[in-house]
Chain A
């Protein structure tokens, strides 16, 4: 296979408080079958050999499910293409000699930790505010006691497929987290197990989301376009509906 070379412009920032800037690198001998992150590994290996500080970026499973990777590549979170995380982006999608800009996910609620590493703990905060069914270990009835139709189970799964990577926030011009919150609220609103605390959940999760500094949804669906699990904005509409329903019910 023909090797290619690419020019990278990578965001380097020494720490959370430091100033950052784009820095240029050239990577030679890139094999098209390399994933984008493996290409960065090669670059880092070269930097390490020269005694330079390597580029920090998050990655773990490298098969598109952990949600660690958080790179905006050429202005699009996880790079161009549907249903992919950064680790599922391959160099065969780039041209020989291409200049590629690599930046961290940007949002006030996702402050940069170092280089391309961001802090997404705001998502954990939202989850702690209600992204669960309050059932203690050992208190569960038989799994087949409540029948759940296949269509409902499938829809709940579609919502539950969210990997919490935050690309939705990164892509949104408002840095809104509606798709993330909408997916979880929808999953638990669809399933009977989630019904007893349905209103409390949506109100608390939305309030926490707002306090964390995420923006508001203006229905432009960039989030859906970049979501590695292709979660639909229908979940945002459902979130809005659930929120309105909760306000009515609680008032």
Chain B
């Protein structure tokens, strides 16, 4: 089936404005009659719930954590892009749009990206008005820095804690609505199923994580803002509770999952140190503004970093990409780190790391200036690596970080299930095959603050929704299926723990669907994932009860979903027989090892329909058109 993104027509720079004029509205007095469920309270969820609350809708916001303020958006470090051109360095909405489309290697939907670039400027204004303490210059104006994949300074930041400050801004707005009575927060709830009645998304079934009780909530629309699925790889920079379950449960109810193989592997993370490791820690990309990436020229050079003279160092990014240098996009930087480590030139105990060196910047600007810019990141590095990065270069290695893929949505951010909207990282729409730095925060807030208030009204204003209660059969069916899954998992009582399975799944994905992929190993991965999934069902050991706070069981359900989801992820990587952005198929590369796209055959969004546990997922395509951004071979040389 060919999918329709419902993109409005006309010139791209006025599409959104004209479309806003055309969309339906809901009268202010009628809004409180509409119930809206928002699942997830990160940037997308909190901003959506707050904005809808302000407008007068009746909002229920759900978070898996004990407070909306802890959602993982909080960990974003570096910044948020906006086409303000405060620096007078040639930025514009068009350039941000173009950089994002190109950065995503021409696999994003043009219209969505342009809208994102347009509202980027409003986001900054909104956040400043909320009291977000962005970095300022001495004259009192907002400061900017540069990020990968751009030749302008358009990144707004709050030291190395931009995500935290933006999330706290959205959270504050949300709590204001709690006080106003328009939003009710449901904390420590995990959405375990979507309720679809008469073809429309009408509610959710959650588990109360404190007492294990199943809870049913009915609504007129469901907004899924549950982030990405990076934790399918076990080790990632995601938080422990970030997971695919809510999105996957929607997929199982018929929502299409788009481009699942587009997984961003971030170049600057602290390397793995041992098998005990529970997560990987990102070092913001902003560090590449001042840090220089290098490895020894010779594989057998085992001297400490400070003793290796300039002439024996290979600043490989600066050498290969003179125009962008250390600020090439993430996929390029990651792949190059892998290549030099594969050549045996990696550093550190495991040989899977490269240096990120600040010596030059410290000499040029002084230690205080560096501390002012990156103080918290340096401290974080020192906590973990037990080494002072002001004195010795950091050791970094790529790690799974962000997922560009997600549930398929149209221009209105609505999935193929009417009434199910998907916002932020959980959807697929804006980043194509690679996300540029400082664009995730932008997208989450764009969706929540400035898109959904319009498109949701358009849906509610036009939808004919029957009165529905939680006694409806669709709720009973959903709840029963959840309870059944839980009981089944508890009954297995096998020999291996959930974590062991998760770690093994992650290893398969990392080795075979990581920074580089090829057909034969993808086929292997598919077999291994299926085998592991079957073993999981037979041999997992989940302790504790279902009517209790039971972390083992929470994770067991999520890993169960990763097992199913992983199959779709690998299938997508197999289907996309080209290299683009993060998706590097070894069969398709240029002579000097860069991605080789195949626009003729693969310029589409791959939206997968789940067809059952042991059936092949079905592929639906949305053809991508690039009328306003010139399609080129991506080059950062």
Contacts and interface: CB of A to CB of B under 8 A. Distances in A.
Q: Do chains A and B touch in the complex (CB under 8 A)?
A: yes
Interface of A: 15, 31, 33-35, 37-39, 41-42, 45, 47-49, 51-54, 56, 58-68, 83-84, 88, 90, 92, 113-114, 117, 119-121, 123-124, 127-129, 131-144, 146-150, 153-154, 156-157, 160-161, 163-164, 187-188, 191, 193-194
Given A54-B544, A63-B75, A90-B383, A42 B131 contact: no
Nearest to B69: A164
B74 A66 contact: yes
A41 B278 contact: yes
B54 A129 contact: no
Nearest to A55: B551
B140 interface: yes
A134 B175 CA distance: 11
B125 interface: yes
Contacts, number: 223
B551 A124 contact: no
Contact of A138 (B86, B126, B241, B498): B126
The 6 closest A-B pairs by CB, nearest first: A147-B140, A132-B172, A140-B129, A153-B136, A156-B133, A143-B128
A7 to B, nearest CB: 19
A120 to B, nearest CB: 6
Interface of B: 47, 50-51, 54, 65-72, 74-75, 84, 86, 122, 124-142, 158-159, 161, 164-165, 168, 171-173, 175-176, 178-179, 185, 187, 210, 239-241, 273-274, 276-279, 281-282, 379-380, 383-384, 386, 449-450, 453, 497-499, 541, 543-544, 548-549, 551-552
7 contacts: A54-B544, A54-B552, A64-B380, A121-B66, A124-B178, A143-B127, A150-B136
A212 to B, nearest CB: 14
Interface centre among B133, B158, B282 (most CB of A within 10 A): B133
Contact of A163 (B54, B129, B164, B498): B164
A131 B67 CA distance: 15
Given A56-B549, A61-B74, A127-B172, 19 more contacts: A45-B499, A48-B543, A60-B65, A66-B72, A66-B75, A66-B239, A68-B66, A114-B210, A114-B549, A132-B172, A132-B175, A135-B130, A135-B173, A138-B122, A147-B139, A147-B141, A154-B133, A157-B158, A157-B159
A157 B454 CA distance: 32
Contacts of A124: 67-69, 175, 178, 185, 187
Contacts of A65: 74-75, 161, 164
A51 B545 CA distance: 11
Contact of A128 (B176, B276, B279): B176
Given A45-B497, A65-B75, A141 B168 contact: no
Interface centre among B66, B74, B86 (most CB of A within 10 A): B66
